[in-house]
């Protein structure tokens, strides 16, 4: 009997020791996470896409322009400002080289401030806006003359390939081309022409020459679900598989795209990820499509916290905000909501294969 009591006491003491260790470790983990989240180097940027702006001659109520202005005013009202904004194509309903396309491009640029050919979201010129062209920006002349004249004047000679580096992240902007018409299956789920070999070579050389976290931005996604005929619609065509392999090989964190007007996240094997926010640093390259700002108003935050890149949920603003004179922040910015992240698996770790 005495022996049993002694063993019982030992077991109880062991349990208490383990529980105490767990609590201390858990507490230290929370403190550590808070320190990481409050690091001055942490930042976020905003992904917009498919704004489809039309000039008031073709959009009398200027709803497309109002939607873009609304989301921009909303974004810059955050207490913690974004480092920058990216807009991945179909900036206008049509651009090309004609007079009507020029008016659309001017209407888009009119939503921003400009200095030295660079667009900014705010009057203080503290939040730059970076863009890539989409297939609608090529219409109807299959060129980007108006896009280069009124929206992005700085990257004509670079074939719209350029790199922006902020803190520990490099962003690679690319042009996925105009509409692709050679395959009839692409006429329903419209695809982009894709990349030339020189584009792939540029990206590989750029990947090799950076030790930063890598994010690629373009209009057409490289990964999408198959349609009822078994065809992967809405994607870029030329060099699609080479591009996907290259991103996997060099551990690109994200590929941000639009075009489909849907908010989905895939890996290169078409596995779908629904649980957001998602720490992309723990997975293979994630192919992120964000929803549009044409029929409604959407944006997505991408947060860089320590060495991790978090893909957040696509947020939809209420359309009644279009009629408000003063845009207030109605959504708590998730970057500051530490508890929401702590409930997820470790914010550091090895990638899953």
Proportion of the chain in helix, strand, coil states, percent, rounded to 5: 30, 25, 45
Pure H helices in the chain? 2-37, 63-75, 99-109, 135-138, 145-150, 197-208, 240-249, 338-342
Beta bridge partners of 299: 315
Structure confidence at residue 228 (pLDDT)? 75
Answer whether residue 129 shows pLDDT above 80. Answer: yes
Question: Phi-psi category of 347—alpha, beta or left, where left has phi over 0 and alpha has psi -120 to 50?
Answer: alpha
Based on the domain organization, do 3 and 120 belong to the same domain?
Answer: no
Answer whether residue 229 shows pLDDT above 70. Answer: yes
**Is residue 349 included in any domain, yes or no?**
no
Based on the domain organization, do 246 and 271 belong to the same domain?
Answer: yes
Query: For the chain, what is the domain count?
Result: 2
Residue 6 domain boundaries: 1-38
**Is residue 287 included in any domain, yes or no?**
yes
Based on the domain organization, do 87 and 198 belong to the same domain?
Answer: yes
Based on the domain organization, do 256 and 189 belong to the same domain?
Answer: yes
The tally of CA atoms less than 13 A away on the side-chain side of residue 191 is 25
Answer whether residue 161 shows pLDDT above 80. Answer: yes
Based on the domain organization, do 32 and 46 belong to the same domain?
Answer: no
Structure confidence at residue 332 (pLDDT)? 39
Structure confidence at residue 230 (pLDDT)? 79
Mean pLDDT over all residues of the chain? 85
Whole-angstrom CA distances from 125 to 60, 74, 115, 119 are 30, 16, 8, 8
Find the farthest-apart pair of alpha carbons in the chain and give their distance in angstroms, rounded: 98
Least confident of 23-27, 133-137, 153-157, 185-189: 23-27
Based on the domain organization, do 279 and 247 belong to the same domain?
Answer: yes
Answer whether residue 328 shows pLDDT above 70. Answer: no
**221: CATH:** 3.60.21.10
Structure confidence at residue 15 (pLDDT)? 58
Structure confidence at residue 322 (pLDDT)? 60
**Is residue 113 included in any domain, yes or no?**
yes
**Is residue 168 included in any domain, yes or no?**
yes
Q: Hey, is 312 helix, strand or coil?
A: strand
**Is residue 353 included in any domain, yes or no?**
no
Which of the 8 DSSP states describes residue 115?
Answer: E
Q: Residue 329's pLDDT band (boundaries 50, 70, 90)?
A: very low
Q: How do residues 59-105 score in pLDDT, each as one tens digit?
A: 999 999 999 999 999 999 998 999 999 999 999 999 999 999 999 99
Task: Please tell me whether the overall predicted TM-score, pTM, comes out greater than 0.75 for this model.
Answer: yes
Q: What CA–CA distance (Å, rounded) separates 313 from 213?
A: 21
Based on the domain organization, do 156 and 248 belong to the same domain?
Answer: yes
Based on the domain organization, do 25 and 49 belong to the same domain?
Answer: no
**Is residue 347 included in any domain, yes or no?**
no
Based on the domain organization, do 151 and 111 belong to the same domain?
Answer: yes
Q: Which of 173, 137, 136, 167 is nearest to 154 (CA)?
A: 173
Based on the domain organization, do 21 and 102 belong to the same domain?
Answer: no
Based on the domain organization, do 15 and 72 belong to the same domain?
Answer: no
Based on the domain organization, do 24 and 48 belong to the same domain?
Answer: no
Beta bridge partners of 217: 173, 256
Q: How do residues 277-318 score in pLDDT, each as one tens digit?
A: 999 989 999 999 999 999 899 999 999 999 999 999 999 998
Structure confidence at residue 29 (pLDDT)? 27
Comparing 196 with 14, which gets the higher pLDDT? 196
**Is residue 99 included in any domain, yes or no?**
yes
Structure confidence at residue 170 (pLDDT)? 98
**Is residue 351 included in any domain, yes or no?**
no
Whole-angstrom CA distances from 298 to 52, 71, 72, 234, 301 are 13, 8, 11, 19, 10
Structure confidence at residue 6 (pLDDT)? 57
Structure confidence at residue 10 (pLDDT)? 60
Q: How do residues 242-273 score in pLDDT, each as one tens digit?
A: 999 999 999 999 999 999 999 999 999 999 99
């Amino acid at each position: 009997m005495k022996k049993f009591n002694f063993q019982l006491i030992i077991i109880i003491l062991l349990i208490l020791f383990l529980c105490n260790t767990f609590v201390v470790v858990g507490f230290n983990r929370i403190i550590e996470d808070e320190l990481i989240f409050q690091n001055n180097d942490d930042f976020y940027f905003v992904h917009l896409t498919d704004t489809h702006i039309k000039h008031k001659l073709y959009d009398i109520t200027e709803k497309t322009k109002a939607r873009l202005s609304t989301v921009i005013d909303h974004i810059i009202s955050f207490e913690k400002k974004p480092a920058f904004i990216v807009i991945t194509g179909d900036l206008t309903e049509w651009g090309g080289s004609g007079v009507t396309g020029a008016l659309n491009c001017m209407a888009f640029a009119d939503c921003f401030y400009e200095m030295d050919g660079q667009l900014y979201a705010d009057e203080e010129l503290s939040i730059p806006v970076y863009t890539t062209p989409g297939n609608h920006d090529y219409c109807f002349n299959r060129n980007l003359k108006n896009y280069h004249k009124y929206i992005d004047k700085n990257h004509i000679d670079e074939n719209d390939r350029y790199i922006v580096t902020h803190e520990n992240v490099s962003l690679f902007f690319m042009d996925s081309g105009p509409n692709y018409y050679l395959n009839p299956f692409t006429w329903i789920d419209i695809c982009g022409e894709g990349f030339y070999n020189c584009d792939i070579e540029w990206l590989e050389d750029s990947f090799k020459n950076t030790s930063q976290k890598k994010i690629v931005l373009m209009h057409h996604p490289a990964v999408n679900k198959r349609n009822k005929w078994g065809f992967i619609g809405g994607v870029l065509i030329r060099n699609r598989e080479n591009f996907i392999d290259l991103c996997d090989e060099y551990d690109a964190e994200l590929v941000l795209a639009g075009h489909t007007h849907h908010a989905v996240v895939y890996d290169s094997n078409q596995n779908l990820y629904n649980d957001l926010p998602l720490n992309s640093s723990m997975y293979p390259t994630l192919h992120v499509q964000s929803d549009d700002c044409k029929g409604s108003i959407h944006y997505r935050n991408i947060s860089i916290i320590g060495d991790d890149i978090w893909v957040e949920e696509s947020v939809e603003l209420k359309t009644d905000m279009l009629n408000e004179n003063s845009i207030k922040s109605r959504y708590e910015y998730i970057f500051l909501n530490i508890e929401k992240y702590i409930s997820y698996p470790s914010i550091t770790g090895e990638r899953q294969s």
